[in-house]
Amino acid sequence: MIIIGLTGGIGTGKSTASRFLHELGAVVLDADSIGHETYMQGTELYSALIKVFGQDIVGDKGQLNRSKLADIVFADETILTKLNSMVHPHIKKHIKKVIRTLDKEKTSMVVIDAAILIEAGWTDLVDEVWVLTAGKKTIHDRLSDKFSSNMDGALKRMEFQMSQEELINKADVVIDNDGSIGALKAQVGLLFNNRISLAGENNN
The segments of the chain whose pLDDT lies below 50 read none
- Residue 42 zone, left/alpha/beta (φ > 0; ψ -120 to 50; rest): left
Q: Quick check: pTM over 0.75?
A: yes
> Helix or strand or coil: residue 8?
strand
Instruction: Map out the domains of the chain with their CATH numbers.
Output: 2-198 (3.40.50.300)
pLDDT digits (tens, 9 = 90+) for 94-124: 999 999 999 999 999 999 999 999 999 999 9
Q: Looking at residue 148, what is its pLDDT? A: 61
CA 82 and chain centroid, separation: 19
